[in-house]
Amino acid sequence: MAYLCGIACLAIVTAELFKSSPVIAAAEPAARPEWITVERPYPAFEVHLPEFAEGPQYTIQRHERGGGRKDILTFGEPGRSMRHVAIEIYRPGSEQPDFDDPVRALVARVAAFEPTGDIRASFPIETKYGQVATVDFAFGRFGGGHCVGFVRTSDAPRLQISGVSCNMGALVDRSRVACLLDRLTLLSAGSDRATASFFARAEVNRTFCGQRDPLMYATPRHQGPAEHAPPVRLRGALAAR
């Protein structure tokens, strides 16, 4: 019995030593993102906002399969700075056959802000690009931040200008949104002549932030020659003839 028990223990130990390891399924490679960020972006657009001491953070994203391009200009940080502005110029490729409804596109865009309350469709804003659809919403703790989202879609050429303008503790002046878009200009379109023509036509309608509006900024009164001429002082009495 001792001999048989010894053989049995030896067989168990041998089986454990030479037991094959369980087969582990090969891990699937991580899926590549649809949008790839360009490492060294060359700006194609610019916008100057005097209320920000620094220029925008410029980001370019390319669609991996469709070839679309997004140029994104960002000022400030939402919820951390008193003012935040983001503008995106999207020139789609084959990945976007048709644009979504403007308001629905805005609702999807501002979802990242985690709005407190409803997202309200508002009146369009007149800009040098034509009418721009807008929405209003609050975000942040106790709804202390207020934003206006905007979008302008063009079919010829196919592009979309969208973004947000936000304030902390104050409502966003909608005229400043129009001024923001008025300052958006094209630096280089490359071989994209349709986009270059689109921005050239918009420049004709540029108001320079309302300074060409006769109702808001009246033409200054020019002084006549007699008004701005210095007074003439006589040095002495005229001699009698």
Residue 111 in any domain: the answer is: yes
Residue 235 in any domain: the answer is: no
3-state secondary structure of 120: strand
Look up the CATH number of the domain holding residue 158: 3.40.1000
Q: Is 67:95 a contact under the CB 8 Å cutoff?
A: yes
Residue 60 in any domain: the answer is: yes
Strands (E), 28-177: 35-37, 45-46, 57-63, 69-75, 83-91, 120-127, 130-139, 145-155, 158-168
pTM score of the predicted model? 0.74
Residue 190 in any domain: the answer is: yes
DSSP 223: P
The predicted model gives 44-54 an average pLDDT of: 93
Residue 66 in any domain: the answer is: yes
Question: In 3D, which of 160, 208, 161 has the Cα closest to residue 183?
Answer: 208
- Domain that residue 75 falls in: 35-204
Residue 48 in any domain: the answer is: yes
* Domain total of the chain: 1
Q: How do residues 180-203 score in pLDDT, each as one tens digit? A: 999 999 999 888 999 999 999 999
- Strand partners for 166: 84, 147
Q: How do residues 108-133 score in pLDDT, each as one tens digit? A: 888 888 888 889 999 999 999 999 99
Question: In 3D, which of 47, 89, 85 has the Cα closest to residue 173?
Answer: 85
Residue 76 in any domain: the answer is: yes
Residue 79 in any domain: the answer is: yes
